[in-house]
Amino acid sequence: MKQSSLFSKTRKDVSAESDSINHRLLVKGGFISQLMSGVYTYLPLGLRVLKKIENIIREEMEKIGGQEILMPALHPKENWEVTGRWDTMDDLYKFKSHYTKIELALGPTHEEVVVPLAKQFIHSYKDLPKNLYQIQVKFRDEMRAKSGVLRGREFLMKDLYSFNATEKDLDDYYDAMINVYNNIYKRAGIGSKTYLTFASGGSFSKYSHEFQTETPAGEDIIYLCSKCKIAVNKEIIEEQKNCPKCGNEELKEVKAIEVGNIFKLKTKFSDAFNLTFTDKAGKEHLVQMGCYGIGISRLLGTIVEINHDENGIIWPKEVAPFDIHLLSLSADEKSNKIYETLKNAGFDVLLDDRDETAGTKFKDADLIGIPIRLIISQKLERTGNIEVKERLESESLIINEKDLISHLKRP
Ligand code: ATP
Ligand code: MG
């Protein structure tokens, strides 16, 4: 894509509207735009990142038997009355249809929809296991929407619901999901700071698990075992004072962002909607359920909190909006040629062909944070040499044009 035609532009001063690093850098870089507190538009650059994250999640969910569906955001009141959550969930957006006077909610989570849905198709042990997931906008009337995209009132979530015949099958699936989640965070570039965290299991299980990313930007407090790289959350630290794995009592208190949460629901919701199956002997049982969430837009914000410097964002390779930022310094013909060559070689390239000074182009490239920057100048045009700089490195390399593709494709 050519930067001269990009819809968004980098912005200079956004300090007045920003309360966090992710908000400031994402707005300045032209990734997002705020409509109101906790509600954002994803601009072309931001949406590219969001899609890359979604794709990682999709690949990993498919590996573990997930089947993608898309459920409605608009829910009838009666489903929420079945579980009692119409009255108990404070952040549920509720309203009445002007014409039909029917009461509705905007989905903050989807147990109330997915369980009645499963009832249509799950009847026998032969219909199990099943794992349904979606990537969808969620609505929550958060008391305080803050910290940029970390806490929105409208945000993107992946939620998977598992349906098993036995508790043992649920346990096995749940354990496999922990590995899958770790892989997602690793691929998204926050693996080294993201910890499996023991949390309260509610009335049905001893524990649930959160995935918490350590950063001063975090709203949560966790207690980290530096040896095992697992943590205990604040909610249960009074009952669980040592590391649940090795017993270590010297846990470190750190701030963190909850980037995911997995929960064994067991029969809580299948009981509410009477979701049952018959076993081989014809006996009826409640289905065992689990739910597994990842805040995709929160994950995007967390990536920025973890990967930036004073000049801007440093996107991890797999989630970067483009692979290569090609800066043309008054060498448009040459740059266009290299732009085409790179695209043909399979790279996603942003070509800065704007009529701006070299200084502005460098500054914006640092802010936008694409992993590899190529600089094509008049001087290099004569010699056939191209300056290659990785966003993470302070030094650049000079590579001859004929070696460029093999250099970029090296592992
Ligand atoms: P929190 O304690 O931060 O409010 P939660 O326990 O309400 O989170 P879940 O209901 O488990 O969150 O939702 C699953 C995931 O969705 C969370 O792990 C988080 O990553 C994300 N999430 C939850 N609320 C928001 C929000 N308001 N904005 C963005 N992401 C969110
Ligand atoms: Mg919440």
- pLDDT tens digits along 151-161: 999 999 999 99
Asked if the structure places residue 315 within a domain, the reply is no
**Ligand 1, atom 1: nearest CA belongs to which residue?**
258
Got the DSSP string for 279-331?
-TTS-EEEPEEEEEEEEHHHHHHHHHHHSEETTEE---GGG-S-SEEEEEES-
299 in the same domain as 156: yes
How many angstroms from the chain centroid is the CA of residue 244?
Answer: 27
Ligand 1 centre distance from Cα of residue 150 (Å): 9
pLDDT digits (tens, 9 = 90+) for 130-149: 999 999 999 999 999 989 99
| pTM of the predicted model over 0.95 | yes
Q: Which of 179, 271, 174, 256 is closest to 220 using CA atoms? A: 256
Q: How far is CA 377 from CA 262, 332, 335, 353, 388, in A?
A: 51, 9, 9, 12, 12
Ligand 2 centre distance from Cα of residue 96 (Å): 24
Q: What share of the chain is helix, strand, coil (3-state, %, to 5)?
A: 35, 30, 35
Backbone phi, psi, residue 353, to 5°: -105, 20
Look at residue 146 in the predicted model and tell me its pLDDT.
Answer: 84
252 in the same domain as 159: yes
Closest ligand to Cα 144: 1
Domain boundary, last residue among 309, 339, 357 = 309
pLDDT tops 80 at residue 15: no
CATH number at residue 180: 3.30.930.10
Look at residue 330 in the predicted model and tell me its pLDDT.
Answer: 87
339 in the same domain as 360: yes
Backbone phi, psi, residue 354, to 5°: -75, 155
Enumerate residues 6+ apart whose C-beta is below 8 A from 60.
180, 183, 184, 187
pLDDT tops 90 at residue 404: yes
Q: Between 174 and 331, whose confidence is greater?
A: 174
- Long-range CB contacts (< 8 A, 24+ apart) of 388-392? 391/314, 391/315, 391/365, 391/366, 392/314
- Range in 202-211, 280-289, 392-401 with the lowest mean pLDDT: 202-211
- Tell me the residue range of the domain where 184 lies: 3-309
**Ligand 1, atom 13: nearest CA belongs to which residue?**
293
Supply the mean pLDDT for the chain.
96
Total domain count, the chain: 2
81 in the same domain as 190: yes
Q: Token match 């799950």: residue?
A: 122
332 in the same domain as 301: no
Asked if the structure places residue 314 within a domain, the reply is no
102 in the same domain as 123: yes
Q: What Rg, from alpha-carbon coordinates, does the chain have?
A: 24
163 in the same domain as 112: yes
339 in the same domain as 249: no
256 in the same domain as 167: yes
Structure tokens at 387: 């300056």
218 in the same domain as 149: yes
Got the DSSP string for 79-135?
HHHHTTHHHH-TT-EEEE-TTT--EEEE-SS-HHHHHHHHHHH--BGGG--EEEEEE
Asked if the structure places residue 317 within a domain, the reply is no
Look at residue 403 in the predicted model and tell me its pLDDT.
Answer: 95
Structure tokens at 270: 């299948």
DSSP state of 2: B
Ligand 1 centre distance from Cα of residue 260 (Å): 7
345 in the same domain as 245: no
Look at residue 378 in the predicted model and tell me its pLDDT.
Answer: 87
330 in the same domain as 187: no
Closest ligand to Cα 136: 1
Pocket of ligand 1 (CB under 6 A): 109, 140, 142, 151-152, 155, 157, 258-261, 293-295, 297-298
% the chain with pLDDT above 70: 100
Look at residue 195 in the predicted model and tell me its pLDDT.
Answer: 98
